[in-house]
Amino acid sequence: MITIAVDCMGGDVGPAVTLPACDAFLSSHSQAQLLLVGRPESFAPWPQVLNNVRCRVVPATEVVEMDDAIEVALRRKKDSSMRVAAQQLKDGAAQAMVSAGNTGALMAIARYVLKTLDGIDRPAIASQLPNARGGGTTVLDLGANVDCTAENLLQFAVMGSALVSAMTGEQEPSVGLLNVGEEAIKGSEVIKKAGVLLRNAGNAGDLNFFGNVEGNDIFKGTVDIVVCDGFVGNVALKASEGLATMVGGFLREEFSKNIFRKMAAIVAYRSLMSFKNRVDHRRYNGAALLGLRGLVFKSHGSADAFAFEQALARAYDAAHHGMLDNVRERITRAAPLIAGAAAAIELKSIPVP
């Protein structure tokens, strides 16, 4: 059995989304059990979940609101559902945790309770964005770190490789560095330095570094993993979500027009729906907070029950495939390179291939 601690109070809606999602998840995952963390009185409308033998309620008296400051969440709400769920993970009662709550608060609480892995300065948020190959491109960071050093980007690449390797079985997933062009001479000084560090890691056999990639390569599926700072990554994430919304709006508009447009839409319905499902960001919900001493997954705050169920499934798969051990092993293997990265290179001496 794999046990997941669920912050049932987090997100824009709370139990009205998380409890139905838990019910659906348990129906499709016979080897999973859930710790439902939150205010028990809020769970009463869903007796089918509460009566499930693979569920146990863990009381928490407080809730981290979506607009709470990090200071409030971390210092004043010590019995929040988010904090209690993280503690279940630390204590070994659960193998993973899922929350749709305040991202900044979740990162701060998880980092405080669980601590970071040795060799990692900053945790990163990683998730998949849909690509033209029918799968997903793993992108990190998606918003945890707005300003990053070249060394941070190297760490993200190592962690992202471990994530994809554990989840897909691909031993050497390809890594691209997001830039304004493919040429090594392009980009900011931080990006150029990161490019050198990543090439060094590739030459040392610690990474399968493809080179620089551009924004459209995320959606082409050019590489398995794209590394960037959190500001750029979050923009890419929101653009992807906007595309799905636009496609859904287009379909609704076409079916509401005159009879000829409706007929054309009906003829193309199967293809249009296939494309809509492919870019549906709900299918990719559930971002991993990498670099922590525990598996923490962040659901979108506005997720519906289907999307939150996907986040639970991603957390389950990560625990099932030993993702944390894979991340730890890769970081240990690359530790000499990561530790020496800052001293190994000076900006003024960056070679141009």
Choose one of 114, 140, 166: the last residue of a domain.
Answer: 114
Do residue 228 and residue 329 come from a single domain? Answer: yes
Three-state DSSP state, 319: helix
Assess if residue 297 is contained within a domain. no
Assess if residue 345 is contained within a domain. yes
pLDDT at 168 over 80: yes
Token pair in block for residue 299: 């659901």
pLDDT at 291 over 90: yes
Do residue 56 and residue 197 come from a single domain? Answer: no
pTM: 0.85
Domain extent for 47:
1-114
pLDDT at 350 over 60: no
Choose one of 89, 114, 139: the last residue of a domain.
Answer: 114
Do residue 186 and residue 51 come from a single domain? Answer: no
Do residue 229 and residue 132 come from a single domain? Answer: yes
Do residue 127 and residue 106 come from a single domain? Answer: no
pLDDT at residue 166, rounded to an integer: 85
Do residue 134 and residue 214 come from a single domain? Answer: yes
Do residue 79 and residue 171 come from a single domain? Answer: no
Angle between helix 323-339 and helix 150-168 axes, rounded to 10 deg: 150
Assess if residue 298 is contained within a domain. no
Do residue 257 and residue 278 come from a single domain? Answer: yes
Question: Do residues 127 and 240 make contact, with C-beta atoms less than 8 angstroms apart?
Answer: no
Assess if residue 33 is contained within a domain. yes
pLDDT at residue 304, rounded to an integer: 94
Assess if residue 314 is contained within a domain. no
pLDDT at 57 over 70: yes
pLDDT at residue 257, rounded to an integer: 61
pLDDT at 174 over 90: yes
Assess if residue 163 is contained within a domain. yes
- Measured distance CA(6)–CA(19) in Å, rounded: 9
Token pair in block for residue 47: 């007796």
Assess if residue 291 is contained within a domain. no
> Residues with Cβ < 8 Å from 204, sequence gap 6 or more?
337
Do residue 78 and residue 203 come from a single domain? Answer: no
pLDDT at residue 116, rounded to an integer: 93
Tens of pLDDT, residue by residue over 32-41, are 999 999 999 9
Question: Do residues 256 and 206 make contact, with C-beta atoms less than 8 angstroms apart?
Answer: no
pLDDT band at residue 205, thresholds of 50, 70 and 90? confident
Instruction: Report the number of distinct structural domains present in the chain.
Output: 2
Tens of pLDDT, residue by residue over 63-72, are 999 999 999 9
Mean of pLDDT over the chain? 87
Chain centroid to CA 304: 17
Do residue 241 and residue 349 come from a single domain? Answer: yes
Choose one of 114, 135, 156: the last residue of a domain.
Answer: 114
pLDDT at 282 over 50: yes
Tens of pLDDT, residue by residue over 227-261, are 999 999 998 888 777 655 665 565 556 556 666 56
Least confident window among 29-33, 211-215, 239-243, 347-351 = 347-351
pLDDT at 95 over 90: yes
Identify the CATH number of the domain in which residue 32 sits.
Answer: 3.40.718.10
Least confident window among 3-7, 152-156, 349-353 = 349-353
Do residue 97 and residue 172 come from a single domain? Answer: no
For Cα atoms 205, 352, 162, give the angle at the middle one, nearest 5 degrees: 25
Assess if residue 296 is contained within a domain. no
Strand ranges, E, within the chain: 2-7, 32-38, 55-59, 96-99, 124-130, 136-140, 174-178, 208-213, 225-227, 287-290, 296-298
pLDDT at residue 352, rounded to an integer: 41
Least confident window among 42-56, 140-154, 207-221, 325-339 = 325-339
